[in-house]
Amino acid sequence: MFDLHRKIAVVTGGGSGIGAAIATLFARQGAHSVVVDLDNGADGTVRAIREAGGNATVRLCDVSTPDEVARTFAGIHEELGRLDILVNNAGIAHVGTIQQTTPEDLDRLYAVNVRGVFLCARAAVDIMLQHGGGVIVNMASIASLVGVPDRFAYSMTKGAVLTMTMSIALDYVKRGIRCNCICPARVQTPFVEGYLREHYPGREDEVRRTLEAYQPIGRMGTPEEVAALALYLCSDEAAFVTGQAYPIDGGVLVA
């Protein structure tokens, strides 16, 4: 089950955290993982995949820049011949209410979290239609589904990801392209640890416990758990699934 051999899988934001876990798992299941990221952090993901016997390549790209996205996806198509899977994982965060969010903050998050998903999905659809279809998974958030305190701009962008997912699924359901999104609660990633060190020096353990307690299950999720859900949604076993938002939230939505 969940065999991805002969599949070409693009994972944006694949240099660390959830994206790295997805690219690694997909390669383990036989895919050629194309790790797309803004900087050379992606090299480490690709090196680890290759050392484990998998296939992976790096593409440096700012997903918010139309020319870079077009050039990156055209290069992937030319080099690898097709594109079967896109995981739109690249994203950035912002903490604050509407009063604590400047127009510049809003524009910065929109550029990556909304325009970046749009640009990559549009480029992927163009290629997928030439080869009989494919699968897109967008990384949304439980903030797409319920209110999360002090996350105004982030929630706005992830709500857009949710509705983009539904629109793509509806428009291309008859043309062989499936599109779903994953809605995680808090996941323990290098980003979270860096945020704790920067904003709560000396109080990291205390604040981490607060973040863990937000999930009724009593902990944050792991990148590998999110990757396992992404693997299912991108596999042939999920061939009947499209236009859905999958929470992976440790019980937040039922508490």
Active site members: 154
Nearest to 33 by CA among 16, 52, 9, 17: 9
Let me know: does 194 contact 200? Beta carbons within 8 Å: no
Q: Per DSSP, which regions of 198-254 are E strands?
A: 245-248
Angstrom CA distances, 82 to 67, 70, 74, 128, 223, stand at 20, 15, 10, 7, 27
The closest alpha carbon to 221, from 244, 245, 200, 251, belongs to 251
d(CA 189, CA 238): 27
How many whole angstroms separate alpha carbon 2 and alpha carbon 229?
11
User: Which residues lie below 8 Å from residue 87, measured CB to CB, with a gap of 6+?
Assistant: 9, 10, 11, 12, 19, 22, 136, 137, 138, 139, 230, 234
Displacement of CA 177 from its chain's centroid (Å): 18
* Cα dihedral value 207, 102, 142, 14, nearest 10: -80
Q: Which residues, listed in sequence order, are joined to residue 147 by a DSSP beta bridge?
A: none
